[in-house]
Amino acid sequence: MNLALFDLDHTLIADDSDVQWARFLIKRGLLDGETHSRQNDAYYQDYLNGTLDINAYMAFQMAPLGRHDRATLDRLHADYMVEHILPVIPAKARQCLAAHQASGDQIIIITATNRFITGPIARELGVDELIAIELEEDESGNFTGRPRGVPSFREGKVTRLMQWLEERGQTLASYDKTFFYSDSRNDLPLLSLVSHPVAVNPDETLRAHAEAQGWPVISLRD
């Protein structure tokens, strides 16, 4: 059996799910657009530059989740999926997943976006296994607006994957081939571990690295 790992934002979807969630909340009047957009743009530039402070970003991005009860958030997310996510899922991404599924591969989406946002997206894509940033909940099951555990970002993706494998009594060597599809330089730690790294619509740094290493460079955009 093979293991096929997929990043989510700008890989399986042609946008950033965190950014789109904020835009959705702004459109609904639940976030101040000017203030949030300015700060989010600064964090996103840090991400592109490979200098993002993941803890500061998580605190910023998750704060709105602590302002609403879970039932309200779930209703909002259903609308967000229809308005912001379904339109940016390329057919090529679904086809790539289907090809791995047809081969009987174990598929995991591994993302630096939180589970609340990405869980329904993974289900829409037909992927049962998701490694994402986990959220702290209070005794009522509502989000506190704080993360918990190791964030699945950069080297944290490696840590979280190794935890996932260990829980199942496995290692990467348990699989015949290991794939990882990603667009970002931030995923070089995990891309460098798998047997079949694939750069998907990559940023400039990842493209240069992939070309130097002879890794495939593909597009999953329609």
Q: Report the distance separating Cα 205 and Cα 66, nearest Å.
A: 35
Q: Is the pTM of this model over 0.85?
A: yes
Average pLDDT estimate for 32-58: 84
Q: How buried is 40 (Cβ within 10 angstroms: 0-12 exposed, 13-18 middle, 19+ buried)?
A: buried
Q: Report how far residue 136's alpha carbon sits from residue 213's, in angstroms, rounded to the nearest whole number.
A: 39
* pLDDT band per the 50, 70, 90 thresholds, residue 28: very high
Q: Is the pLDDT of residue 90 over 90?
A: yes
User: What does the pLDDT read at residue 32?
Assistant: 87
Q: What is the pLDDT of residue 62?
A: 82
Q: Which domains does the chain have, with CATH numbers?
A: 3-218 (3.40.50.1000)
Of 42 and 192, the one with more pLDDT: 192
pLDDT over threshold 90, residue 31: no
Among all residues, which ones are annotated catalytic? 7, 9
pLDDT over threshold 90, residue 163: yes
Residue pLDDT, tens place only, 92-138: 999 999 999 999 999 999 999 999 999 999 999 999 999 999 999 88
User: What average pLDDT does the segment 39-63 reach?
Assistant: 83
Tell me what pLDDT residue 94 has: 98
* Tokens describing residue 69: 């009860």
pLDDT of residue 60: 85
* CA-based R_g, the chain, Å: 17
